[in-house]
């Protein structure tokens, strides 16, 4: 096992040297010879690595003398994890924090009443919590637990051996705690940061351009990223080594290779998250499995057999953690409406849940629907996918919704087609259709081209929104458009069954003549309270254009640009057929060729890969109608 750097022992007065010697020796719990003068015994050797101590959603492995890997019994609802030197943290979905393991410095003494937490982090002997208001709470050892006065606007946190980092919403970094090696001395002018990581005596920052900046101790090159490193999406700093995850799913490591800490397994790919420990590394793959390498003292890199479906990882001083959703033991069913109007179609949502009632995102079972209503129309069998993450709502394009057709108390049940014990049900009250209380109006098109003729449909509904099939009233149309042509008065018949569409030879359709926001209203001639309306946007000819592209814009990179035609009311002028020409303040720019809009564009056209800006600074891109120069629009972007 890797011991602390010699500087930790030899620099008198440093924050590290103020820690009790026995605490430092626990990093290497065998006998140690200090300065060649005397031998100190640190007590019994660490217990052998045990199998994963899994309770609820958190699995742990490695050093476990203090219960570091033993999550509290019944722990559930965990959404994030963090590993300290010899303790562990979990953030729950309700915004509270749970800690376990060694409490020599109060690192598991979560402050009473702490809530509203959105992120957690841990150092060697201290813990951090970021709250929803952008402030930071810390506890555990020494000055690393005292954030700077007035610190706010924080969006990310990280804990090192004895220092802490906070990333602010403006892309700057704040550091506090031990600065013996400059690890808390943030480089002047560092901005554009999107992620941070505090190591043993070093710090890393990931910038929005995919590059990494490091500072602090560089004895083994841990703060000096490899030349040309780019395309980075995540970083993690260990004791004397560093890791970076690239956008292609591969991992790059640098720094001290003690016990193989930087020996990333050959061919490792498909990685979605990384974590660096004392002298080891973890990688979470897109298939939910974990790969580990480096120092395996206490079994910290011996990933438990069968560990899968993992959603998060954390590496501590001598142990590792994984957030593993539990296997589904039952389903929950939620119907979109209750009471449920007979004959209506509504959504139904099925969630796979583990024994603790938490969503089981790894569920891939096939479910089958049944109902106590023999006339019901039910969704077809469905197999959950990774994209569902344990929850699927019907209807969608492949799975129709639910229609109940028998009044009374009726149940809807979903059952796993293979494991029938994985099931769930919901009972709803199905109400019969009542007398019409209101009308719903649906115009055939919206936005509505001025002067065009389209259909309009009127539906009679009861108090529950169910179609009132027995409605026989006579309706009259009105509109906020004084120039509109409206259908004539109409009396519903039995054949209509509560729904009538106007747009046939005997029932003239609707023509709106005035641009702007216009309403179309249908009202029962005998009972004025039985009424309904729809507001549509009537658009006219194009008066101006808008231009949209990537901003900030990386210099020399090809991006798409979208041009939209709008009328005077801010509506998309879907009938625009003009020819546009591009110009730019960047004289070196590559611009799309002239283009004539077609009917298929409906007023919007995207020029894919048609734009390249080559001059750094503030530049504009303009599109102008070649016939009518007043029809124009531009966008100003920052070229980086």
Say which CATH number the domain at 206 has. Answer: 2.130.10.30
Which of 510, 539, 568 is where one domain is finished?
539
* Domain-located, residue 32: no
| 259: helix, strand or coil | helix
Looking at the fold, whether 522 and 553 belong to one and the same domain comes out as no
What pLDDT is recorded for position 206? 98
Q: What is the DSSP string of 100-122?
A: EE--TTSTT-PPTT---EEEEEE
* Domain-located, residue 162: yes
Looking at the fold, whether 95 and 156 belong to one and the same domain comes out as yes
- DSSP designation for 585: S
DSSP E strands in 229-279: the ranges are: 232-237, 241-246, 251-255, 271-276
- Total domains in the chain come to 4
Supply 429's token pair.
Answer: 């009250």
Looking at the fold, whether 306 and 386 belong to one and the same domain comes out as no
* Domain-located, residue 22: no
Q: Residue 330 CB: number of other CB atoms within 10 A?
A: 16
* Domain-located, residue 296: yes
Burial class (CB in 10 A: 0-12, 13-18, 19+), 467: buried
Looking at the fold, whether 271 and 224 belong to one and the same domain comes out as yes
Helix (H) or strand (E) holding 22: helix 21-25
Which of 513, 539, 565 is where one domain is finished?
539
Looking at the fold, whether 80 and 217 belong to one and the same domain comes out as yes
Q: Residue 143 CB: number of other CB atoms within 10 A?
A: 16
| 494: helix, strand or coil | helix
Give the torsion through C-alpha atoms of 190, 195, 197, 202, to 10 deg: -20
* Domain-located, residue 114: yes
Which of 323, 344, 379 is where one domain is finished?
323
Q: Which of 245, 251, 239 is nearest to 318 (CA)?
A: 239
* Domain-located, residue 586: yes
Contacts of 495 (CB under 8 A, 6+ apart): none
Q: Which of 121, 81, 130, 126 is nearest to 103 (CA)?
A: 126
Which regions of the chain are under pLDDT 50?
1-56
What pLDDT is recorded for position 398? 53
Looking at the fold, whether 187 and 249 belong to one and the same domain comes out as yes
Helix (H) or strand (E) holding 367: strand 366-371
Report angle CA 228, 231, 233 to the nearest 5 degrees.
130
Looking at the fold, whether 380 and 448 belong to one and the same domain comes out as no
Let me know: does 164 contact 156? Beta carbons within 8 Å: no
C-alpha distances out from residue 457 to 109, 442, 464, 465, 535, Å: 64, 5, 19, 16, 14
What pLDDT is recorded for position 48? 34
The single residue listed with the structure tokens 């009374």 is: 408
| 340: helix, strand or coil | strand
What pLDDT is recorded for position 505? 54
Looking at the fold, whether 144 and 233 belong to one and the same domain comes out as yes
Helix (H) or strand (E) holding 21: helix 21-25
* Domain-located, residue 615: yes
Looking at the fold, whether 560 and 517 belong to one and the same domain comes out as no
Looking at the fold, whether 171 and 154 belong to one and the same domain comes out as yes
| 516: helix, strand or coil | strand
Q: Which of 506, 607, 602 is nearest to 549 (CA)?
A: 607
pTM: 0.53
Residue 462, domain extent: 438-539
Looking at the fold, whether 79 and 199 belong to one and the same domain comes out as yes
Question: 379: domain CATH number?
Answer: 2.60.40.1930
* Domain-located, residue 405: yes
Looking at the fold, whether 403 and 419 belong to one and the same domain comes out as yes
Gap between the Cα atoms of 164 and 132, Å rounded: 19
Supply 1's token pair.
Answer: 């096992």
Q: Which residues pair with 622 in a beta bridge?
A: 583, 634
* Segments in 445-595 forming alpha helices (H): none
Q: What is the DSSP string of 468-510?
A: -TT---EEEEEES-TT-B-PPPEE--GGGTTEEEE-SSSS--E
Tell me how long the chain is: 640
């Amino acid at each position: 096992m890797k011991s602390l750097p010699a500087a930790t022992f030899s620099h008198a007065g440093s924050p590290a040297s103020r820690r009790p010697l026995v605490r430092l020796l626990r990093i290497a719990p065998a006998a140690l010879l200090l300065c060649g003068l005397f031998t100190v015994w640190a007590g019994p050797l660490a217990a052998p690595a045990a199998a994963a101590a899994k309770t609820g959603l958190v699995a742990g492995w490695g050093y476990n003398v203090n219960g570091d890997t033993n999550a509290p019994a019944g722990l559930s609802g965990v959404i994030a994890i963090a590993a300290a030197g010899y303790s562990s943290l979990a953030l729950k979905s309700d915004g509270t924090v749970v800690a376990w393991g060694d409490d020599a410095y109060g690192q598991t003494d979560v402050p009473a009443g702490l809530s509203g937490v959105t992120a957690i982090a841990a150092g060697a002997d201290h813990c951090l919590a970021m709250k929803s208001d952008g402030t930071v709470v810390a506890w555990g050892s020494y000055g690393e637990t005292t954030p700077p006065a007035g610190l706010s606007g924080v969006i990310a946190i990280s804990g090192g051996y004895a220092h802490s980092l906070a990333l602010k919403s403006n892309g700057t970094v704040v550091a506090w705690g031990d600065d013996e090696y400059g690890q808390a001395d943030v480089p002047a002018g560092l901005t554009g940061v999107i992620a941070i990581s505090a190591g043993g005596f070093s710090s890393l920052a990931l910038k929005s351009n995919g590059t990494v900046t490091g500072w602090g101790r560089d004895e083994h090159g841990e703060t000096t990223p490899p030349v040309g490193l780019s395309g980075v999406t995540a970083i993690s700093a260990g004791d004397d080594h560093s890791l970076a995850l690239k956008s292609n799913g591969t991992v790059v490591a640098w720094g001290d290779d003690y016990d193989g800490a930087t020996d990333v397994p050959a061919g490792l790919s498909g990685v979605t998250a990384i974590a660096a420990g004392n002298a080891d590394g973890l990688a979470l793959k897109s298939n939910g499995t974990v790969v580990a390498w480096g120092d395996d003292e206490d079994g910290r890199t011996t990933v438990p057999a069968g560990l899968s479906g993992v959603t998060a990882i954390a590496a501590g001083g001598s142990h590792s953690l994984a957030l593993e959703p539990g296997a589904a033991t039952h389903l929950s069913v939620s119907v979109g409406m209750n009471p449920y109007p007979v004959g209506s179609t509504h959504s139904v949502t099925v969630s796979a849940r583990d024994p603790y009632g938490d969503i089981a995102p790894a569920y891939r079972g096939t479910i089958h629907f049944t109902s106590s209503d023999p006339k019901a129309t039910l969704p077809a069998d469905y197999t959950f996918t990774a994209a569902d993450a344990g929850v699927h709502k019907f209807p969608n394009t492949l799975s129709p919704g639910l229609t109940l057709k028998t009044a009374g108390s009726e149940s809807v049940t979903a059952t796993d087609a293979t494991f029938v014990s994985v099931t769930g049900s919901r009972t709803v009250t199905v109400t019969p259709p009542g007398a019409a209380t209101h009308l719903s109006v649906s115009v055939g098109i919206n936005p509505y081209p001025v002067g065009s003729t389209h259909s309009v449909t009127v539906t009679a509904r009861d108090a529950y929104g169910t179609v009132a099939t027995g409605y026989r009233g006579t309706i009259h149309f009105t509109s906020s458009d004084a120039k509109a042509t409206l259908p004539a008065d109409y009396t519903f018949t039995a054949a209509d069954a509560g729904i009538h569409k106007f747009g046939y030879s005997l029932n003239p359709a609707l023509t709106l003549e005035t641009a702007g926001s216009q309403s179309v209203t249908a009202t029962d001639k005998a009972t004025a309270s039985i009424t309904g309306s729809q507001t549509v946007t009537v658009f006219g000819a194009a008066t101006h254009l808008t231009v949209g592209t990537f901003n900030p814009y990386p210099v020399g990179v090809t991006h798409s640009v979208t041009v939209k035609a709008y009328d005077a009311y801010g509506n998309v002028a879907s009938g625009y057929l003009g020819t546009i020409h591009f110009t730019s303040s960047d004289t070196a720019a590559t611009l799309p060729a002239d283009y004539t809009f077609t009917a298929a564009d409906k007023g919007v056209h995207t020029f894919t890969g048609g734009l390249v800006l080559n001059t750094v600074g503030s530049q504009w891109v303009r599109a102008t109608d070649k016939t009518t120069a007043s029809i124009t629009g531009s966008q100003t972007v920052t070229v980086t």
